[in-house]
Amino acid sequence: MALAMVVAMLIVCVCTTAVVGGWRGGEGKEVRYDGRALVLNGTRRVLFSGEMHYTRSTPEMWPKLIASARKGGLDVIQTYVFWNVHEPVQGQYNFEGRYDLVKFIREIQAQGLYVSLRIGPFIEAEWKYGGFPFWLHDVPNITFRTDNEPFKQHMQRFVTQIVNMMKKEGLYYPQGGPIIISQIENEYQMVEPAFGSGGPRYVRWAAEMAVGLQTGVPWMMCKQNDAPDPIINTCNGLICGETFVGPNSPSKPALWTENWTTRYPIYGNDTKLRSTEDIAFAVALFIARKKGSFVSYYMYHGGTNFGRFASSYVTTSYYDGAPLDEYGLIWRPTWGHLKELHAAVNLSSEPLLFGTYSSFSLGQEQEN
């Protein structure tokens, strides 16, 4: 309850904000956003999300993993889409076994949760080649992740394939499915200057290409402060309540796509766990200081790097100190503490989503 008081004390009155960026589908459902939150069927929502990757677990594990996430107070499951497992050979696709993306999403839907789909297709994720299939390297005259025609052609083809698959299966929210938001590219701002003028052109192209696919749901770019409208720029990191510059438009909400729950283990390095209290405080601060309404934990379940798909420096066990450990077992006290945090914030969701934020000093190093 104390966490609810921390965020609720910032609220002094109720106000309204115009809703923009809306998408509507034939099923009568729609996803919109405004300057405060994602808006589902006309209702602003505070959403807690957890990242778990279908490629790092098995289909037999998925129901229990998702159930544990739901019991932990999550509303959304977030996942990358892994190009190199789905198209290991150019033109030959694999969506079977633990690569069955549709089955994974349907299980999430069956348990009443939403999906945040991070198509990329560059994903990093401590994954071999950042998720790119190796054959892409041999395409003539190609330069990755810039205004390069061969690369854009292949990127658009794969993104379109995934989007069309989701549409065919009726998995977007306006179709009655669970996908409420998608991501294009991934932390591109970190490398964009290296591409000169080609970097900004590529960002604009990727945004236009994604929106042009007409998914019926919003698109986002993480760590991309100049994400073009209507793409939402989002934050990744440990302390987005301090580091996030904020949405680049007053009509966009503050979303945190990666709240790092621990440090992924590296061969030869000591394990570095993040304290439960630090994770929870960072969430409360993001909500209080940045008007955050969407927080996704990276990872909520790290799982196992099967085969040879992990980056060369990353251990087989991935994010074992996440709320659900490598085998899907509840990691205490993190899982339970975050569950209580989610419940506390939800008690104050109405003033958080509709109230006017204010702060005042309690001393040189304190504020409320």
User: Of 126, 192, 258, 326, which is the active-site residue?
Assistant: 258
Assess whether 87 carries a catalytic annotation: no
- Alpha-carbon distance of 97 to 85, in angstroms, equals 11
Given the residues 27, 169, 187, 350, select the one marked as catalytic: 187
CB 330 within 8 A of CB 50: no
Which one, of 361, 359, 62, 26, lies nearest residue 175 by Cα?
26
Token pair listed for 79:
């996942």
E strand or H helix that includes residue 220: strand 219-222
187 is catalytic: yes
**Distance of CA 218 to CAs 109, 213, 252, 273, Å?**
19, 11, 11, 33
For 227, the token pair is: 């994400």
Measured between alpha carbons, how far apart are the two ends of the chain, in Å? 16
Name the H helices within the chain: 2-8, 62-71, 83-86, 101-110, 149-168, 198-212, 240-243, 276-290, 334-347, 349-354
Give dist(CA 317, CA 299) in Å, integer: 12
Active-site amino acid positions: 187, 258
